[in-house]
Amino acid sequence: MRPLFPLLLALLVAEPRAAGWPALERRTALRCDFAGVRVPGIAAFGKTDNVFTIFYPLYPADVRAEIRAAMKARGYSHVVLDPHPRYRDLYPTENLYGQPGRFKSAMRELLDAGLLPIVMLEASTPITLETSPEQAVRIMRERLAPWVADRELMSLIKIAATGWEVDDHQSPAAIEALARYFRTILPDDALLFVHFTPGRIAGNRGGETDRQWWSRMARENVLDGLFYQFAGGDHPVEAFRTALEDLAAKFVRGESGWPTRTGRGTPLYLQAFEYSAYFDHKKPAWTEEWARSLGEAAMQVPGVSGYCDGGR
């Protein structure tokens, strides 16, 4: 019979179990719309009824339930969150870096509903293009300290991105330094993606090609794939598909020496992430149905793992 004390000790020091996370194949099959579903209940808390899911933790329980129901009714399986949601004064805003319990509760609530959270790790920080990589890491280490101290919260983060449009406010050196830092604090089986401004696909420094940058990031197990952003007018279905086909030739088929796997042997995942996010200040042609047609087109490209800006 096993002694009781060692058994209790083992239970106390064991890593928290991240309940609710499915196998890798489903985790990487993104199906979501982070900014394009209209939910009447959010209008009382901002200036629009267009859901931007990063604000999900800030709404009361009944509104969160309405958002979950809207996502599930469309067959979506993932929800994008970030630690300090802000957008053009259209929504409530609050810094959740210092509220790990609240963020963790939102993540668990989504998981219990069968919705997988995606966490954009760097959001609304003072990092700029002039911030050194050392300063950028220091800023994020301070921001995320309450999260890192909460082992249960960190165990729940299985899909993350380094931030939104990182090349817009991070130098190439900072992009890489932050990605490497985030990798050290995430669970070993977490997927880490990168998201750039429209059309950009790598954070390479001067003299380094996109392919060379991704070869390093993949070989050294820093990144697991790209959250691709496309911008090409009101109805760019063919142009969108062409851009994704070009990327699939690189990331999936490995043409011209592009890497297709990480150093661990896992695939690099190409996600059609942002292409139709619309708000009341944007063009009326950017409707939910239009967004869903783009997501559908994305999934017709062999090698694209998922979509996150509307689809079917």
Per-residue pLDDT reduced to its tens digit, 12-32: 444 344 456 889 989 999 999
For the chain, which domains are there?
A: 19-307 (3.20.20)
Rounded CA separation 262/256 (Å): 17
pLDDT recorded at residue 8: 40
Q: What percent of the chain has pLDDT over 90?
A: 83
Instruction: Please check the confidence at residue 312 and state whether its pLDDT lies above 70.
Output: yes
pLDDT recorded at residue 14: 40
Q: What percent of the chain has pLDDT over 70?
A: 90
Which tokens hold the place of 282?
Answer: 């944007």
Instruction: Please check the confidence at residue 284 and state whether its pLDDT lies above 80.
Output: no
CB–CB of 175/194 below 8 Å? yes
Residue 282 — pLDDT band, cuts 50, 70, 90? low
pLDDT recorded at residue 51: 95
Rounded CA separation 56/68 (Å): 9
Rounded CA separation 100/145 (Å): 10
Instruction: Please check the confidence at residue 10 and state whether its pLDDT lies above 50.
Output: no
Residue recorded with tokens 């949601």 = 85
Rounded CA separation 41/36 (Å): 15
Which tokens hold the place of 50?
Answer: 């267009």
Which tokens hold the place of 24?
Answer: 């890798």
Average pLDDT over residues 112-128: 97
Residue 203 — pLDDT band, cuts 50, 70, 90? very high
Question: What strands, in cross-sheet order, belong to the sheet with 78-81?
Answer: 78-81, 116-122, 159-163, 191-195, 225-229, 269-274, 304-307
Average pLDDT over residues 21-50: 94
pLDDT recorded at residue 235: 63
Which of 92-101, 177-186, 208-217, 232-241 is predicted with the least confidence, judged by mean pLDDT? 232-241
* Long-range contacts of 43-51, Cβ-Cβ distance < 8 Å, separation of 24 or more: 45/91, 45/92, 46/90, 46/91, 46/92, 47/89, 47/90, 47/91, 47/280, 48/90, 48/91, 48/279, 48/280, 50/278, 50/279, 50/280
Average pLDDT over residues 21-45: 95
pLDDT recorded at residue 236: 78
Q: What is the residue-averaged pLDDT of the chain?
A: 91
DSSP 266: P
Amino acid at 96: L
Pairing of strands 225-229, 191-195: parallel
pLDDT recorded at residue 227: 98
DSSP 10: H
Per-residue pLDDT reduced to its tens digit, 217-274: 999 999 999 999 998 766 679 999 999 999 999 999 999 999 999 999 999 999 999 9
Rounded CA separation 242/236 (Å): 10
Per-residue pLDDT reduced to its tens digit, 288-301: 998 999 999 999 99
Rounded CA separation 3/56 (Å): 46
Instruction: Tell me whether residue 41 is exposed, middle or buried, using C-beta atoms within 10 angstroms of its C-beta: 0 to 12, 13 to 18, 19 or more.
Output: middle
